[in-house]
Amino acid sequence: MVSAKSASVDSAPSKGKDAKSLGDKSNQDVEEAGSSSNEHTTGTAPATGFVLDRKTERALCRKMDFRLLPVLACMHLLNGLDKGNLGNAKTAGMDVDLNFKSNQYNLALSIFYIPFCLTAPFLGIVGKKYGPSRVLPMMMLVFGSMTLLVVAAQNWGGIMALRWFLGMAESAFFPLLIYYLTTFYRRGELARRMSAFYAASNIANAFSGLLSYGVFQITDTPLYPWRYLFMIEGILTILFAVFVWFYLPLNPETAWFLNQAERDLARYRIQVDSSAVVNEKFDLRDSLKVFRHPSSFAFLAIEVCLGVPLQSVALFLPQIVGRLGYSTIKTNLYTVAPNITGAVMLIILAFSSDYTRRRGPFITLAFLFTLTGFIIYATIDVLHNLRVAYFATFLMCWGGGATSVLLCAWYNNNTPHEGRRMALTSVGVPISNLMGIVSSNIFTPQSAPKYIPALATTAAFGATGVVLTTLLSVYMVLDNKRRDRKLGRKLDPQETPTELLRDGPSVPEFRWFL
């Protein structure tokens, strides 16, 4: 047997073997966070031979955090740079230099989302089959190359072609990152880990502003300054993709930085509180059964509502800040602070969500932040209330990233089947990004610089998101109570190992992760 002190392991848990003996809450509450301070520090799972203590698990989580999260964060940062740099380039006159006509800039933004939505499910399947640690660096290599090739683009047609292939290459990037994390961390540990690398998206927008601030001051050069922006970001992405290929392990069981005892413990943790079957072979027909559950469509509807505010901020924050009357260089510089505070708020909400083991209330709060920001900006006289207007841009950034992270964590937490989890995420994330087509075509040149129709539309999507999230949260609470009444007692979700919950809500022991 493994001692709690040494955390060595003699026998790995076998699927289904006395699984219900894990039902004692004192034997299950060993998570790093989200557990009350008066819980036992040690828990025993007699059927498996494991003796667990929080200190051992924390040490394992810290080791995985230090080895994985910085690399995943850098990957997501570079992804954010390559996706959102068009807005910065526009402030430096890219559309003028390439002779864009009418709304061709908006079309260049929109075209990205069509292949993004179409190819994400297929690349998600490939990623599940061959492993995210192999597919992700290949995707990085492609979208880094597309970014670099913008340096050679001479007209609108060239930009359109590159944006098309950029959308294809980036489509399943975020779903695969999420799935990869779910193979290492328990459900109650997921949101704050996701926040650590998703905050890199906000930092990417801030870094892009800083990088643009420096690059756009380059003069006396044969290239337009905005071309250097794409050159630098593309080269960085390509080089990092090569590093990632050799660095990331396929899964915890092959992680080069874990010893055998730690690998066994990592697999056990996922078996009891994340995946029904660890490293299950992908079955497309079985995975698509996730769409038989009405809750899946509720999650997708919230993704739609999330997508418009999220993409509006990601694509048009430089233009929104530009209305404050600053120069091109200062406009890019003034996008930094809202994005940095957005990353901080994302981490705060994610940690709070994991600590309380609640997703819905924090998703609603994040929606309200963004909704309030757009309402303020649309209803005040911006030029006569510069400080209030600038504060509104902070609120816009506080909600988008946090909503995306918590929503993805929410439906991943409620989908124990690995294949179905990948299928739902591969549809949900692209649908959210597909709403970039809406954002791209409501911020039109005709409505500049006030963009009142765009701001109102974005606020309306945010308000709908608040309503849908609240309704889904209430449904989950009521359904859990109904299931408890049928059982005759209150069942804590942690009492039932996820290996018994393969079929989701159709299983009597299933309880919604709220």
55-506, which class in CATH?
mainly alpha
* pLDDT: which is higher, 218 or 356: 356
On whether the CB atoms of residues 504 and 420 are closer than 8 A, the answer is yes
Residue 297 has pLDDT above 50, yes or no: yes
- Whole-number pLDDT of residue 478: 96
Burial, 27: exposed, middle or buried (Cβ in 10 Å; 0-12, 13-18, 19+)? buried
- Whole-number pLDDT of residue 28: 37
CA distance 53 to 269: 12
Record the tokens describing residue 373, joined without a space.
Answer: 């920001």
- Whole-number pLDDT of residue 151: 92
Cα radius of gyration rounded to whole Å, the chain: 23
Residue 17 has pLDDT above 50, yes or no: no
Which of 184, 187, 170, 237 minimizes the C-alpha distance to 430? 170
- Whole-number pLDDT of residue 187: 81
Of 24-33, 161-170, 421-430, the least confident = 24-33
Residue 390 has pLDDT above 90, yes or no: yes
Q: Give the residue-averaged pLDDT of 2-14.
A: 36
Residue 436 has pLDDT above 50, yes or no: yes
Of 17-21, 75-79, 272-276, 471-475, the least confident = 17-21
Q: DSSP per residue over 364-428, as a string?
A: HHHHHHHHHHHHHHHHS-GGG-HHHHHHHHHHHHHHHHHHHHHHHHHHHHT--SHHHHHHHHHHH
Q: What is the DSSP letter of 494?
A: G
- The number of beta carbons lying within 10 Å of the beta carbon of residue 66 is 10
What would the 3-class secondary structure string for 83-101 be? HHHHHHHHHCCHHHHCCCC
Q: Which amino acid is at 101?
A: K
pLDDT digits (tens, 9 = 90+) for 150-163: 999 999 999 999 99
Residue ranges covered by each domain of the chain: 55-506
pLDDT digits (tens, 9 = 90+) for 193-232: 888 777 766 676 677 777 777 888 777 778 888 898 899 9
pLDDT band at 27 (very low <50, low <70, confident <90, very high): very low
φ/ψ (deg, to 5) at 259: -85, 175
Residue 164 has pLDDT above 70, yes or no: yes
Residue 326 has pLDDT above 50, yes or no: yes
Sequence-distant (6+) residues with CB within 8 A of 510 are 483, 496, 501, 504
- Whole-number pLDDT of residue 279: 66
If you average pLDDT over every residue of the chain, what do you get? 83
- Whole-number pLDDT of residue 202: 67
- Whole-number pLDDT of residue 195: 83
φ/ψ (deg, to 5) at 50: -90, 140
The CA–CA distances, whole Å, from 134 to 74, 120, 190 equal 16, 16, 22
* pLDDT: which is higher, 470 or 90: 470
Question: How far from chain centre, in Å, is Cα 208?
Answer: 19
Residue 372 has pLDDT above 80, yes or no: yes
- Whole-number pLDDT of residue 12: 37
Q: Give the residue-averaged pLDDT of 130-139.
A: 94
- The number of beta carbons lying within 10 Å of the beta carbon of residue 446 is 8
- 258 three-class SS: coil
* pLDDT: which is higher, 101 or 282: 101
- The number of beta carbons lying within 10 Å of the beta carbon of residue 358 is 17
Positive or negative CA dihedral for 476, 480, 485, 487? positive
On whether the CB atoms of residues 496 and 509 are closer than 8 A, the answer is yes
Of 101-105, 208-212, 395-399, 468-472, the least confident = 208-212
Size of the chain, expressed as the number of residues it contains? 514
How much of the chain, in percent, has pLDDT values that exceed 70?
87
Which of 313, 331, 338 minimizes the C-alpha distance to 439? 313
- Report the predicted TM-score, pTM, of the whole model to 2 decimal places: 0.76
Residue 49 has pLDDT above 70, yes or no: no
Phi-psi region of 53 (alpha: psi -120 to 50; beta: other; left: phi over 0): beta
Residue 3 has pLDDT above 80, yes or no: no
Burial, 217: exposed, middle or buried (Cβ in 10 Å; 0-12, 13-18, 19+)? exposed
- Whole-number pLDDT of residue 249: 94
Which of 20, 40, 45 minimizes the C-alpha distance to 30? 40
- 209 three-class SS: helix
- Whole-number pLDDT of residue 13: 37
pLDDT band at 275 (very low <50, low <70, confident <90, very high): low
CA distance 153 to 474: 51
Residue 361 has pLDDT above 70, yes or no: yes
Question: How far from chain centre, in Å, is Cα 306?
Answer: 12
Q: Which amino acid is at 424?
A: L
- Whole-number pLDDT of residue 63: 93
Name the one residue in this structure whose structure tokens are 């730690």: 262
